[in-house]
Amino acid sequence: MKIQLLLLAVVSCCLLSFSGYHKNEKNKKTKKEDIANIPLPKMLDKDLKWEFQADLSDDFNYEFDPVNEKTTFGKGKWVNFYHANWDGPGTTYWKYNHVSVDGNDLLITSSRWDKKNEFNPIYKKGVKMNKIDGGINAGCITSTKKVKYPIFIESSASVANITLASDVWLLSPDATQEIDIMECYGGKGQGNEFFAKSIHVSHHSFIRKPFTDYQPRDKGAWQNRSDVKAWGDHCWNGGDRKYVRTAVYWKSPVHFEYYIDGELVRVLYDKALATKVNGKWQYGYPTMTDGKLDVEKGKQRIESFSTMDTYSFKELKKASKKSSVSIIDPYEYQGGKGYTKELDIIINIESQDWHVKAGRTPSDEDLANPDKNTMKVDWIRVFKPVK
């Protein structure tokens, strides 16, 4: 057993150094001076001038080797861990040394957790979810500067081809306001075929004590693309990695716009939402009965307002005026003010409890496979609008 554990530790270290790095990849790398000049989405406000925020953006065209301690990197833009003293949800154990930059991409890796040969930080509370053989080491980074509306944030990422979430998101320091730019369960193995075909775009409004969580739970939050059966396979692409661009325009405390590969796909505004489904824009609003959000077929009920061929903010405002229930924060956990706090940028891999409970968790084989266990980020960029 001791020999097996030693071998596992050695293999894990090797994975940290080489996971996801292929010198012969053909996907062209964006040059350092180019990320500010990549065209912004056509549907982004044309009446505004957009100023590139160099202090919050990163092309990852430098090197940062894995280290087994909490460290800032990228000229002080990032720390190789979460923004608080917490090491992840479900069976996740975020580790400092599962983060690196290889001169082309940010690499967020995953591996099998081993309590007897654990990397830093050391988990001191037993075993998560009582899964002694089911823990997941993973990487997480947090920006050292915060963002606040109005702001546009976009990343270009290649999700891990494994039954774990590859995430780009925003969170307030007190963990009460969250905006999910990309949440993608890439690998189609271990019964994950349904979730692997979608990119989840959403937000959470929290009360910490007692813990209470609201997020829109309509089916429109799960964005599919006709040419993608599993995002992990799509991004792995036989070894020639592909990248997907995901973005949010946090326009105001009650206005979020979501983009995938430069295309506007979903807008939440005040008391209504618009989602692009099969080429059509569906407008609607949430409803409540006796102070509780209505549910239909296991999903949050959205009352249909109209369907159009194109997106129209005027139409969305009409739907919002028809509604009496907020789509942003219907229970007013944020005091009815919407999203007003400064948020950190977070990029990570994680093993969420609801997937683990359903048996959707990666195998040892997948976790040991550098072709599957790594999320790559080509760049992340931030713009502020100026009138």
5 and 117 in contact (C-beta within 8 Å)?
yes
CB atoms within 10 A of CB 190: 17
Q: What is the pLDDT of residue 7?
A: 38
Q: Rounded CA gap, 167 and 163, in Å?
A: 13
User: What does DSSP assign to residue 40?
Assistant: P
Note if the bond before 210 is cis, omega within 30 degrees: yes
Question: Which is nearest to 247 in space by CA: 339, 325, 169, 307?
Answer: 169
Domain covering 2-19+46-270+326-386 in this structure, CATH number: 2.60.120.200
Tokens of 313: 């903010």
**Residues designated catalytic:** 178, 183
- Find the radius of gyration of the CA atoms of the chain: 21
Find tokens 């219907």 and name the residue.
Answer: 330
Confidence of residue 87 (pLDDT cuts 50, 70, 90): very high
User: What is the DSSP track for 330-372?
Assistant: TT-TTTTS-S-S-EEEEEEEE--HHHHHTT----HHHHT-TTT
Report pLDDT digits (tens) over 312-326. Answer: 999 999 999 999 999
d(CA 182, CA 260): 9
**Start-to-end Cα distance in the chain:** 65
Copy the structure tokens of residue 317.
Answer: 């405002």
Kindly state the DSSP code that residue 299 receives in the 8-state scheme: E
Average pLDDT over residues 226-253: 97
pLDDT tens by residue, 257-300: 999 999 999 999 999 999 999 999 999 999 999 999 999 999 99
The dihedral sign for the CA sequence 363, 226, 306, 46: positive
Contact assessment for residue 371 and residue 160, using Cβ atoms and an 8 Å cutoff: no
Would you place residue 28 in the very low, low, confident or very high pLDDT band (cuts 50, 70, 90)?
Answer: very low
Q: What is the mean pLDDT of the chain?
A: 92
pLDDT surpassing 80 at residue 17: no
User: In this structure, what DSSP letter does residue 28 have?
Assistant: P
Residue type, 44: L
The closest of 345, 386, 377, 363 to 102, measured between CA atoms, is 377
Residue closest to 185 by CA, chosen among 159, 217, 157: 159
| Bridge partners for 258 per DSSP | 248, 266
CB-based contact 12:137 (threshold 8 Å): yes
pTM as predicted? 0.92
Check: CB of residue 325 under 8 Å from CB of residue 331. Answer: no
| pLDDT single digits (tens) 169-183 | 999 999 999 999 999
Averaged over 80-107, what is the pLDDT? Answer: 98
Assess contact for 379 and 43: CB atoms under 8 A. no
